[in-house]
Structure 1
């Protein structure tokens, strides 16, 4: 038996995708702001937690709205930040490499956050 499809479903889905796409710059700005705080104030727990939160927000929602590669890369970096939060003794040694990866993510996302592959 066939089920009826809501005739406005695709339009509403498209509107949600467009709304998410319009919000990507502010999501990435939150990540950039947290990174800046890590660099200016030191990668301490509060600053790293803000960075983790920003990455987690994108990692958890991006694929749903057609930004799978962005979500995957945010998830990968989010896991690195979580490891630093769990092992604070390694922060100063690990931060420079992580900082570079966050910068690479931000530059890539600025060029084309909807790209299907992460290409640094």
Structure 2
């Protein structure tokens, strides 16, 4: 068995995992705020509002899996791609809203769950 170069690696990784988990409620608040800003714009959100929603989803998609929130990251990536398509085409916004709402409701129950329902 190989000896780790940094004997404190596991402890530091666990601390980072705990920090990510503790930040999940604030992250969900950011997603909610970005969604609310998009919805406030009416039928078609502004690019600025969509960009903010995309950015926060992108952040979750890129980091959640690293810290043991695999499904949360995968679903954030899926919804992020929907938002990216809206940004690119200026269409397709209405189906995104319930997907973001579903992601938020699921993550509020258990963002570390292994199944998305």
- Separation of aligned partners in 1, 2:2 and 2:10: 18
Residue 13 of structure 1 deviates from its aligned partner by 1.0
Check if 1:39 corresponds to 2:39: yes
For residue 3 of structure 1, report the CA deviation from its aligned partner.
3.3
Q: Which residue of 2 aligns with 1:105?
A: 103
In 2, distance between residues paired with 1:100 and 1:53? 18
**Count of aligned pairs between the two proteins:** 115
Q: Provide closer, same or farther for how the CA distance between residues 70 and 4 of structure 1 changes in structure 2, counting only shifts above 3 A.
A: closer
Aligned twin of 2:63: 61
Say whether residues 1:11 and 2:11 are aligned partners: yes
Q: Which residue of 2 aligns with 1:70?
A: 72
By percentage of residues, which structure has more helix?
1
- What TM-score results when the alignment is normalised by the length of structure 2? 0.91
**Separation (CA, whole Å) in 1 of partners of 2:2 and 2:115:** 36
C-alpha displacement of 1:97: 1.4
Unaligned runs of 5+ in 1: none
When the two chains are superposed, the root-mean-square deviation of aligned CA atoms in Å is: 1.4
TM-score (norm 1): 0.89
Comparing 101-110 with 34-43, greater Cα deviation is found at 34-43
Partners of 1:67 and 1:5 in 2: CA distance: 26
